[in-house]
Structure formats: C-alpha cells, structure tokens
Chains A and B, each alone.
Chain A
C-alpha cells in the first residue's frame, strides 16, 4: 500500500482536519465527525442531511453548503456512520421544518439511519423523512434481497432536492420530490482496478491487467462478472446499454453524470463521455445537463460509472439554481 497517510486508524480524523482548514464555509464537529455549513440555514426551511462511509469524496461532506446539504456524517472508510452521530446532526440542523435523510441503499446505512431517525424523533421531537437511493442497475432487485445499491443518483438528488429545500418547499414536498428523483435515476459502473482500504492495507480484490469488473459498486465490492479489457467505445456500451435497458430516457430531458471512481484521470473520463454521448444520441436520449468528474469515488479505484436521471422543467430549474459547496458550485 502506497498512500499519503500516517496511521491507517487516523485517516478519517486527519482528513476532516484538512477539510476544516481548506473550507471556511464549513464547520466540522470533530468529536462527532459531522460536517456542517458554517452558517446555518434560515428558520422554517427543511434541512437535508446525508452521510456514509468515508472514501467517496467529495461525497458527502463536499456537498455541504447553500443549495445542497445542511450536514454530512462521515463514517470510517466504507463504513456507515453511527446512529448517535446522525441523530446529533439531525437535531442540530433542524430549523423547525423537519429533516430529510438521504440514504444510499446499503444494509449498514439503512439500519443506522433507521435507528437515528428513531432517536431524533424520540429525543428531540424532530420530524424526519427518509429517501433511499437505489439506482444501480448492475444489482438484481427482488423482495428477497437487499435490493439495488444507491450510487451516482445520490449526488444529483442532493443538488436538486437541496434547491427545493432552499426555496422553502415544505417537508412533504421535499420528500416527495426526493422520491421522484430517486425513482427516475439509473446507474452502471465498471472498474479497471481494485481500491485499497487503508486499514486492510492491500487491494480488496485481484483484477488481472487485461480484465475489467463490470457492474462494480462504490466500495470495491466485486461486480457481477468480468470481461476482457477492450477499447473505450466498447466499454461505453457496457455502461449505456444496461441503463437504457432498465428505464426509458427518451420521454424528456435527461441529466447525465459520468463519474470517476477516484483513480481515473479526467482525460479518460472526457474520452468516455464522448463515447457515451454518441451512444445516447443515437438512442434518442436528449442530455440537457451533465457532470463529468470525480463526484462519488471509491478511494483509488480506477474506473467510471454512468448515471442518467429523467428530468423535467421543474427538475432542470432546481438543477440550475445556485449552489455553493466545495464539490459543486455555480450561480452563487
């Protein structure tokens, strides 16, 4: 393992120290590992919190700020934060209008947020709603399994729903918008290499130089199958086809996210985006807005994921609203 760290056990705490030093717009509660806006949102507005294991930066702490999240709870690398942390964040950000929890569909995140919601409701009387993102089409979905993973659509949802909360929509409206966005998003990812969790010290999985992992998640958990490494144009098909097969994106405008897993340079991500847009165009998908870059990463894993979100005029208006966070900033 070759990383810019001190002790593997201190990675999260020391990284949060750097976050606090780098971003005066944020306030970091080091004891509870919560990233807040330095200046809290106005009274009477719905607050949004999210959280999850560290290692996915800029998710979620990098999306705290006006126009997006009110707080983000950081867990250990790839490990869900704990209910007491989330309950603390929930009671702190509540401005009397309730709090929306944005949860990615992983067993640990779902269970910890569930316990946090019970705690915050019992202790502080805060009204909590929850949206669980589950956009990864690589995972089979059935009532007998944990269901699809929440991946890239989480970023898009935090932006869109964050704008709705900022303009004063109430908790019912914010929660139902969040569900609508969650339902309209689909993602697919591939990996060229494994990532290395600092505490484990070696790659999570072995992937030969001439193979790719298709359908990989954001924790380096292996995907559903492996294929020989081919050119970018063929790999782009591996991303686009399963997403389009799962949902019809030709009915209206679409927001696209071509996301890097942390270890892939932008030159390759842009090259891939070029391939992806050609495929989407020939499939009749109109991409109205896009993001290309590292937004929901997996430490040092090389690879990329594609997220498509079915949008409408309302969603695009909220997408275009000002946002000012370390990871996403425009119009502000």
Chain B
C-alpha cells in the first residue's frame, strides 16, 4: 500500500491534473460562463501547460518544496484572473510546509495540503459556504486528516479526500455565491456548480490517482 508521496508521484499528480484540466476544459468554461466570465478552463489549461514545461525541464527542482514552489510561481505568472493567485498561493504555501524531504509521508502530505488550502482561503478571503474552491478543498483536507488519525494509509486517505471534495463541489450548486464574479448574481447564482470547486476537486482526484 502506498504510504508516502514520492517525487515521481508528485510529478504524476501535476501531470494528471494537467490532463484532467485539458479533458474538462470546455466543461469548466461552461460552468464559468453560467455565473462568471467564461475563462476558467482556458486559463487553467494555459497555466498547467506552462507548469508541465517547468516540471519536465532538465533543471527542475528535485525536492518537493522546490518543485511545488516553482509550480506556484509559474501559475501566478501565467494564469491571471482570480485562479492564478489562488492556485499559485496554494502551491507556494504547500511548498513552505513540505520542507527538505523528497518523499512525504501521510502526515507530511496532510500538512502540505492544509497549509496550501489555508493560504488559498486567506488570499481569497473565502470561507466554507461562500461557493468557491474552498468548499471542495476544506472538506478534502478534513477527510484526509480523519483518515490519517484513524491509521488509514495515504492512498485510502486521499481517496476519501477526493470523495469529500466531490461532495463539497456538488454542494456548491445550491449555494448563493458570496465571493468572486458569481457573487454579483446574488440569488441567480444558485443552481450552478462553482467552476473553482470543480477544478479544485480535479486537483484532489489527480493526487489520489497519482498515489493510489
């Protein structure tokens, strides 16, 4: 059973997220068109393509922290919009928590994700229930924390995290947006899934796939 995140799996996570963003690009953009400005899919695709170029480079950092930091900086400088600083801050904070290790055990993965999500929530000034990425990511972190506390291995914990993220994403459909462009719609934002929660769920699912 997988009980730690190796460097290869870290790279596989990013590649899986990139592939998922590509595959669901139009879907993300459609979700965004319903309540935002119709560019979430294209912006993330551009950012993750740039990220994979950095990851594949000969001089790519070989520590988890180094790689995550490079990913965060690249997202900040290529994505733009709100998702650039949000995803960028997630990876920069995750890098800060990852330390010098090249392989992260379950507790370290939890610490990394928690730091990333807390940073992202602070940057966006978003709380649970605002109909944002946080609605998928915060439950994912809590599910992983529960699994780790109960002695589950990392793969099992991440699978639970992915399921919690998907549940959180689905719950955004009925919420009224309080942050981002969707908030300008007020009541009319109800009935639409939040595009940020959708892509954030893909991020967690990609990690579960890479480890499992």
B-binding residues in A (CB < 8 A): 53, 75-85, 106-108, 111-112, 114-115, 138-140, 144-146, 149, 197, 199-200, 204-205, 217, 219-222, 224-225
Contacts and interface: CB of A to CB of B under 8 A. Distances in A.
Given A107-B179, A224-B188, A200 B39 contact: yes
Given A197-B39, A199-B39, A220-B37, A108 B82 contact: yes
A56 B35 CA distance: 20
18 contacts: A53-B81, A76-B80, A78-B38, A78-B39, A79-B80, A79-B81, A80-B82, A82-B76, A107-B124, A107-B181, A146-B179, A149-B184, A197-B37, A200-B33, A217-B181, A220-B37, A221-B184, A222-B185
A94 to B, nearest CB: 21
B80 A221 contact: no
Interface string B159-196: 00000000000000000001111011110100000000
Interface in B1-60: 29, 33, 35-39, 42-43, 46
B139 interface: no
Given A200-B33, A200-B38, A75 B179 contact: no
A146 B131 CA distance: 12
Contact of A145 (B29, B36, B37, B178): B178
Contacts of A108: 80-85
Contact of B181 (A111, A221, A224): A221
Contacts of B35: 221-222
Contacts of A199: 29, 39, 42
A197 B39 CA distance: 8
B84 A112 contact: yes
A80 B188 contact: no
A115 B185 CA distance: 27
B124 A111 contact: yes
B39 A76 contact: yes
Nearest to B73: A84
Contacts of B78: 82
From B35, B46, B81, name the one whose CB has the most chain A CB atoms within 10 angstroms.
B81
Contacts of A224: 184-186, 188
A218 to B, nearest CB: 10
A77 B39 contact: yes
B35 to A, nearest CB: 8
Shortest beta-carbon contacts, A-B, top 7: A108-B82, A108-B81, A111-B85, A219-B37, A79-B80, A79-B81, A107-B82
B79 interface: yes
B184 A139 contact: yes
B112 interface: no
A294 B3 CA distance: 59
Contacts of B33: 200, 204-205
Contacts of A222: 35, 185, 188
Most buried by A among B84, B86, B178, B188: B84
A108 B81 CA distance: 4
Max chain B CB contacts within 10 Å: which of A80, A108, A217, A222? A108
A158 B84 CA distance: 26
Contact of A83 (B85, B180, B188): B85
Given A111-B85, A146-B184, A221-B37, 12 more contacts: A76-B39, A80-B82, A82-B80, A106-B181, A107-B179, A112-B80, A199-B39, A200-B39, A200-B42, A204-B37, A221-B35, A224-B186
Contacts of A83: 76-77, 85
Contact of B80 (A81, A149, A225): A81
B84 A80 contact: yes
Given A144-B178, A146-B183, A220 B80 contact: no
- B33, B36, B124: most-surrounded residue (chain A CB, <10 A): B33
B191 to A, nearest CB: 13
A84 B72 CA distance: 13
Contacts of A140: 186
A298 B97 CA distance: 42
A75 B37 CA distance: 14
A43 B83 CA distance: 37
A285 B80 CA distance: 40
A29 B184 CA distance: 34
Contacts of B179: 107, 145-146
